[in-house]
Amino acid sequence: MLPPIDEIVSNFEFLDEWDDRHQYLMELGRKLPPMPEEAHSEANRVRGCASQVWLETRVDRSGPEPRLNFLGDSDAHITKGVVAVLIAFFDGRTARDAREADALALFRRLGLSEHLTAQRSNGARAMMERIRADAERVAVAA
C-alpha cells in the first residue's frame, strides 16, 4: 500500500543522496496495488512515455463532488515509482482539485525534475497531462 503523499515528501527530504532517493522511488513502485490484466489496455496506455505506462482513472460520485481514484503500472522500475508518486499525489482528489494541482512543483521539491532522464521527465509530464485531462473531463461533466 502506498503511503500518503506527505509521508513520501518527508521521506524524500530525509534522504540526502540521490542513490537513496532512487531506491526509495523503486520501493514506492513495488507498493503500487496490482493492476488487473484487463486494465493493461490501449485505452489506459499513456502515450509519450518511453516505457510502457498504464493509468486507469476511476470516478467516485458518492460525494458532493466527484473524486478521482487511479490504478497504474509500468514495465520499468523507476517509471513505476514515478507512477506511484503521481498516484499518491492525485488519488482521492476532487476532479476540480486534480485539474489545478501542481505536480511539477512536487517533482521539483522532491528533486525528481533534476535527476530523472529527459525521457522519464517527458513521460512524467505525459502522465500529468493525462491525469489533468481526465480530471477536466470529469469536472466538466459534473
CATH class of the 5-141 domain in this structure: alpha beta
Q: Which three cell numbers stand for residue 5?
A: 503523499
When pLDDT is cut at 50, 70 and 90, the band that residue 142 belongs to is low
Exposure pattern of 30-50 as b/e (b: 16+ CB <10 Å)?
Answer: eebeebeeebeeeebebeebe
Statement: residue 131 has pLDDT above 80: yes
Rounded-to-integer distance, Cα 25 and Cα 19, Å: 10
Within a 10 A sphere around the Cβ of 137, how many other Cβ atoms? Answer: 14
Please say if 62 is a catalytic residue. no
62-99: pLDDT as tens digits:
999 999 999 999 999 999 999 999 999 999 999 999 99
Which of 49, 110, 128, 131 is an active site residue?
49
Residue 49's pLDDT is what? 79
When pLDDT is cut at 50, 70 and 90, the band that residue 123 belongs to is confident
Whether this prediction's pTM lies above 0.85 is answered by yes
When pLDDT is cut at 50, 70 and 90, the band that residue 100 belongs to is very high
Average pLDDT over residues 95-121: 88
- CA-wise closest residue to 83 among 56, 105, 58: 56
β pairing state of 67-74 and 53-60: antiparallel
Within a 10 A sphere around the Cβ of 24, how many other Cβ atoms? Answer: 17
Residue 122's pLDDT is what? 86
Query: Which one is predicted more confidently, 92 or 121?
Result: 92
